[in-house]
Amino acid sequence: MSKRQREQEKDRLFTRRALLLGAAQIGLIGTLAGRLYFLQVMEGERYTMLADDNRISLRLLPPPRGRILDRNGEPLAVNRLNYRVTLVAEQVRNVEATLDAIGKLIELTELDRRRVMRDLRRRRGFVPVTVREDLTWEDVARIEVNIPDLPGVAIEVGALRHYPHTESVGHILGYVGPVAEADLTGEPLLELPDFRIGKNGIERIYDRELRGAAGTVQVEVNALGRVVRELARDEPTAGQDVVLTIDIGLQSFCRGRLGDESGSIVVLDVHTGDVLSLVSAPAYDPNLFSAGLSARDWEELLANPKGPLTNKAIAGMYAPGSTFKMVTALAALEAGVVRPSDRISCPGYLELGDHRFHCWKKEGHGGVNLQEAMMVSCDVYFYEVARRTGMDRLAAMARRLGFGDLINIDLPGERRGLMPTREWKQRTRGQPWVQGETLIAGIGQGYVLSTPLQLAVMTARLVNGGVAVIPHMTRSIGGKPNAGRNPPPYPSMGLQRSGLEAMIRAMNAVTLEERGTAYRARITERGFEMGGKTGTAQVRRITMQERERGVRRNEDLPWRFRDHALFVGYAPVHAPRYACACVVEHGGGGSAVAAPIVRDVLTETQRRDPSRRTGPVASLVTPNGG
C-alpha cells in the first residue's frame, strides 16, 4: 500500500471514530438534558418540598393538662408555673465551673450535677439542658441578678402539675410522671422529653381526656438544626376539666379525723351513688411525684409498715367482723328460716359436734331476738342463724349487697375481696366445706374478706330501700355529665320490705338504745341521728389458754397483732341519705375507735350540706324503731 493510500485509510478511520465519539456525546447530552427536564419540571414540586423540609422544622407544642375539680368547683389538680434554670453548653467555656457558680446561688446536689453532665453528652451543644426546676421566686431572683456573669445560663418558665390539697387527695388523684418506654404507642406527643402522663388514680383513668391535643410551630433552622426564626404557630388544645363527686372539705375533715391511724373512710350518697369522701391513711403527697421523687423519699414510702402507697379504701381487704351480721340476718329473713321476733338462747357459746364456738361475751347474752342480738352484737345468735341459712344462701345475699366482686369505681387497683363458697374451697384448696366454717362466716370471720368501699355499698343498699346503688367518683368531663359510668336510676334488688325494715330497726338500736354497742358514740344533735353496726375483726386466732385466763388485752399486743376496728353507719335515721364505712387497722374495738370517727364524719357531712339532710325517698322506719 502506497503512502497516499495509507493516509486516506487513516483519514477514514479518524472520521469514523469522530462520528462515533460525536454520537456518544450527543447521546450523553441528550440523556443529561432528559434527566434535567425530569428533575426540574416533572419532579420539581417534590424536590422543592424536600428542600423546604431541610430548612423548615415542624415541632410539637405540649398542651396544658386539664384541671381536676371537686363537686363544688374547688381545684384539686392544676398547672402552676415552673421556673427552671437551663444551660447551653456551646455558650459556656467551662461547664464544671459554671455549675459550681450556680451551686453557690441555689441548692445543687451531686445527683443534679451528674444528670446535667449526662444530658450534655446526649444532646447537641446548642440545645438547653435543665439544671434544676421548680425554683422558688428567691432562687429565680438570685440567678437573674447574676446572669451577666453566667454566660449560657437562662431562666425558663414551664408548667408543673400541682395538687393544692397534698396528701388528702393522693390516693384519689394519683400523680403524673415521665413517659416510660412501655407507655409509648407511636403518638408523637408522648415522645416529647418533658411530657407527663397520668400514672395512678384519676390522672391515669382519665389521662386521655386530661391530656389535650398538641399544637405545632413551624421554625426555620440552619444546617445544624439551630432555630433561625418562627414561621407559623398552631396553639395546642388544653385538656378537658374533670369534675369529681368528692367534697374536698369533707375529704380533708375525714383525713384529719383519722390522724395518725392506719385505715380508711368512705362516705356515699345512698341514692345517687356519689362518693363524697374516700380516704386512705397514711397517704402520700402527689406533688413529690410531680416534681420528681427522690430516692430517699421513695425508700421511706416503701419502708413504712402502714403502707402509704396502698389505697386501703378500695384495695385493703379485711374480715368485716360483726358488720357482716346484717348480711347473715337478711339472708335468713329472705329464706324464711328465722323471724325478727324469734329468740335464740346465748349461754356464751354454741356447740357443733366436738367444737365449741364462743361469743365475745363469755357469760352469754341469754335469750335474744334479732334486734337485741344486733344491738349487743351477740355472736351465738348469728352462729345459729348462719347454720340455719346455709353457706350458699349466705354467699348469694352477700354478693347482692356488693361483696366478693369488683364495684368498678373510677379508680385503678380495686380488689374483689372474697366471698367464699363450698365450690370455691373445693376448687382452690381441694377440701370440702365444713359446717363450722359457715358459722364463722356468719359473723364475718374465716375466709370472708371485704374492702371498706364494699362495706359502704352494703350499708347504702340496706338503707336506701334495697336499691342496687353503684358508687362513682366522676360528675362531668369537659362540662358534659359522665353518663358512661354507673348512671342512676339503679334497679331494685327485690328484697322484702319487711326484712329491710327489721334490719334498719336493729341498726338504729345499736346507736339509739342504751344497751347498744355504739350508744356512747351516738349523734346527739337532733335531726342528725345515725344508725349503724360495730365490728371488731381478729387478725390472729385466740388460744384457749388466753380465753380461759381472760388476760388478752388488745393494747398489750404488738401493733400488727391487734384487732381491726370497724363501723358502718348511716344518717339521718329518719330518712337515710349518707352511708359511711370506717376501718382502723389494728385499732382495737369498733365501738371505741371506729364508731366515734363515723359519728363525727356523718355529723360533718350533714352540716356541710343542709339541703340534703332529708332524702327524696321516704324512711322505712322511725328513729325509735316503731
CATH number of the domain enclosing 319: 3.40.710.10
31 domain residue, yes or no: no
Using CA atoms, how far apart are residues 369 and 20, in angstroms rounded to an integer? Answer: 123
The enclosing H or E element of 378 equals none
Q: What is the DSSP string of 142-209?
A: HHHHTGGGSTTEEEEEEEEEE-TTGGGGHHHH--EEEPPGGG--S-GGGGSTT-EEE-SHHHHHTHHH
Name the one residue in this structure whose C-alpha cell is 444530658: 119
List, for the chain, all residue ranges whose pLDDT scores fall below the cut of 50.
49-50, 52-53, 224, 547, 551, 612-619, 622-626
- My answer on whether 240 and 265 are in the same domain is no
36 domain residue, yes or no: no
Q: 141-177 burial by CB neighbour count: b if 16+ within 10 A, else e?
A: eebeeeeeebebbbeeeebbbbbebbbbbbbbbbbbb
Which of 218, 244, 270 is the last residue in one of the domains? 244
- My answer on whether 234 and 262 are in the same domain is no
- My answer on whether 346 and 435 are in the same domain is yes
Catalytic residue flag (residue 322): yes
- My answer on whether 221 and 259 are in the same domain is no
Confidence (pTM):
0.82
Which of 190, 219, 244 is the last residue in one of the domains? 244
- My answer on whether 373 and 419 are in the same domain is yes
- My answer on whether 357 and 333 are in the same domain is yes
Range of the domain at 68: 59-244
Q: What is the DSSP string of 419-452?
A: ---HHHHHHHHS----HHHHHHHHTT-TT-BB-H
Q: Fill in the amino acid letter for 512.
A: L
- My answer on whether 456 and 591 are in the same domain is yes
The enclosing H or E element of 564 equals strand 564-571
Q: Is 417 helix (H, G, I), strand (E, B) or coil?
A: coil
Q: What is the DSSP string of 507-525?
A: HHHHHHSTTSTTGGG---S
- Active-site residue, from 280, 290, 322, 377: 322
Counting beta carbons within 10 angstroms of the beta carbon of residue 457, is it exposed (0 to 12), middle (13 to 18) or buried (19 or more)?
A: buried
For residue 618, what pLDDT is reported?
42
Count of beta carbons in the 10 Å neighbourhood of residue 390: 17
40 domain residue, yes or no: no
For residue 625, what pLDDT is reported?
37
- Residues 20, 22, 25, 30, Cα dihedral to 10°: -100
- My answer on whether 275 and 151 are in the same domain is no
15 domain residue, yes or no: no
- My answer on whether 133 and 182 are in the same domain is yes
412 domain residue, yes or no: yes
Instruction: Please tell me the total count of domains within the chain.
Output: 2
Count of beta carbons in the 10 Å neighbourhood of residue 397: 24
